[in-house]
Amino acid sequence: MKVAIAQLNCTLGDLAGNAARILDAARRARDLGADVLLTPELSICGYPPEDLLLRDAFVAACERTVAELAAQVEGIAVVVGHPQGRRGQLYNAASVLSGGRVVATYRKRDLPNYTVFDEARYFESGTEPCVVEIAGMRVGLLVCEDVWGPLGETTAHPAGTAVDAPHGAMAPRLAREAGAEVLLVLNASPYHLDKHATRHDVVSACARGNGVPLVFCNLVGGQDELVFDGASFVVDAGGRVTQQLPAFEEALAVAEFANGAPVPATIAPDESTEALVYRALCLGVRDYVTKNGFPGVLLGLSGGIDSAIVLCIAADALGADRVRAVMMPSQYTAQMSLDDAASIAHNLGVRYTVLPIEPTFASFTNTLAEEFAGRAIDTTEENLQSRIRGTLLMAMSNKYGSIVLTTGNKSEMATGYATLYGDMAGGFAVLKDIAKTLVYRLSNYRNTLGPVIPERIITRPPSAELRPDQKDQDSLPPYDALDAIMAMYVEHDMAPADIVARGYERADVEKVVRLLTINEYKRRQSPVGVRITPRGFGKDWRYPITNRYREKF
């Protein structure tokens, strides 16, 4: 048997476009001699459809598309993912299309309801296994979480550690007991740091524990804050990876089985954390901009490291001709910032504009002079500069149709070190889930691909340049400590006392946790951005804004 793995970039809601993409992959797979084509989870409609699933018309349209696609498939079986409505209940389904019709349908058993997943809101659990014969082999169908089991990733072992059994996964066992000799798994498994190793551990354990090989086909592409990395793979009955597709790009590959076992084939090389994260950000930006129909992007270029790496990502994702950088200096902007901003814009070949804000700032302060008489200059005047810049960028966005990319990072979002309607004004927050220390690592990585970021941008102390001689560390703990505290508290739900017990200064922990708590109202108003950690400030961070609870040490 030959299984074609179609690692597709589906667009949510584009039913006709997704079906055409699947049909094209089926024809190419058939020409390669494949017996069956495996596509990702909910490949007909895209993932996650969220509350579109509450619309009866949407579900009906998906089912019509499945029937229409089945009628066009020739010479090969095709496995597609789609929502299926039956007797008032909705299922996350996988159907086998062959001979012009749907010949079998499997309903996902284990529904994830943690972090970014909320499938229990929409779907009912299936109960029966689905095993079909293809090219003389008994093939069992599963969908994503069925491999992880009912507790899902919340119980996953640390990346790279051995796992001897799947986490209570019943669906693979039922498929094996129904006669499955190989498991085909449709997936929409989003990327986050160390996800590849964790997936390999869990999927290998599933194959090993059930004594059957497994083909894992994963979605690729950006969907709002989620990025799906593809990186589909095949494991043998002993849990060894025998084939691996590349990450963050569409791919079609054939996995051949001989005597019931997968034949070893190409394994895509491992990449560094920085390379994977950078590719995730580029894909997230590219798909958000193109799938939503924006002609290009705008961003404020300050001469600092955050806007520098965002500019690199935008240019690499979209091409320099679709990117415009705007430098908006004030009286506090250093000459080196002007020089470095011009230098990186030139290096990347993007359109570069300078719009000084000092005259506008003077006009605003003159207007407010009588109202503010007798009051000292403070963060009000700092934020005013940022809001002037936000207003200019949004005006250009309105005029040209390009979306504004914000440049704030996760460390700033955590502590509120950002200005509402100022540097937070925009449509997509590229670094929303990127800690400041990772920003530095990504900048150094990007320069290994071509030295476009001036070294001074990376080595100089970070500053918002909103007052004389301002430095970030005047207001925040050192970023090494801040980012570590943030990761432990946000991504791992550690108690403040336990963080202190790890050796961090109590004053730093208290400050970071306090700032995190009181700035929820800002984060709730921030643009959507790419999620690359196990917990970003988005779908899987749901804290109340009005909240008097303070965790005690």
Amino acid at 442: L
The C-alpha atoms of residue 526 and residue 426 are separated, in whole angstroms, by 8
**Residue 148: left (phi > 0), alpha (psi -120 to 50), or beta?**
alpha
The C-alpha atoms of residue 413 and residue 88 are separated, in whole angstroms, by 42
Q: Are 33 and 14 in contact (CB under 8 A)?
A: no
Helix or strand or coil: residue 524?
Answer: helix
* 494-498 long-range contacts, CB within 8 A, separation 24+: 495/551, 496/551, 496/553, 497/553
Cα four-point dihedral sign 86, 90, 91, 93:
positive
Cα four-point dihedral sign 363, 365, 371, 373:
negative
DSSP 267: B
- Residue 127: CB partners within 8 Å, gap ≥ 6? 107, 109
Q: What are phi and psi of 361, to 5 degrees?
A: -60, -45
Question: Is residue 335 classed exposed, middle or buried when 0-12, 13-18 and 19+ CB atoms within 10 A define those classes?
Answer: exposed
Exposure letters 43-53 (e unless 16+ CB within 10 A, then b)? bbbbbbbeebb
Count, residues in the chain: 553
Q: Which residues are catalytic?
A: 41, 108, 144
Beta strands 261-262 and 251-258: pairing type? antiparallel
Kind and range of the H or E run holding 236:
none
The C-alpha atoms of residue 240 and residue 176 are separated, in whole angstroms, by 18
State both tokens at 69: 């696609």
Place of tokens 């460390």: 411
The C-alpha atoms of residue 307 and residue 426 are separated, in whole angstroms, by 13
State both tokens at 226: 């989620």
For the sheet with 428-429, list strands across it.
351-354, 323-327, 297-300, 403-406, 428-429
Exposure letters 7-26 (e unless 16+ CB within 10 A, then b)? bbbbbbeebeebbebbbebb
The C-alpha atoms of residue 483 and residue 410 are separated, in whole angstroms, by 9
Helix or strand or coil: residue 466?
Answer: coil
Q: Where do the H-state alpha helices sit in 97-228? A: 145-148, 171-177, 195-210
Place of tokens 């809601």: 13
DSSP 86: E
Helices 305-318 and 335-348: crossing angle in degrees, nearest 10, is 10
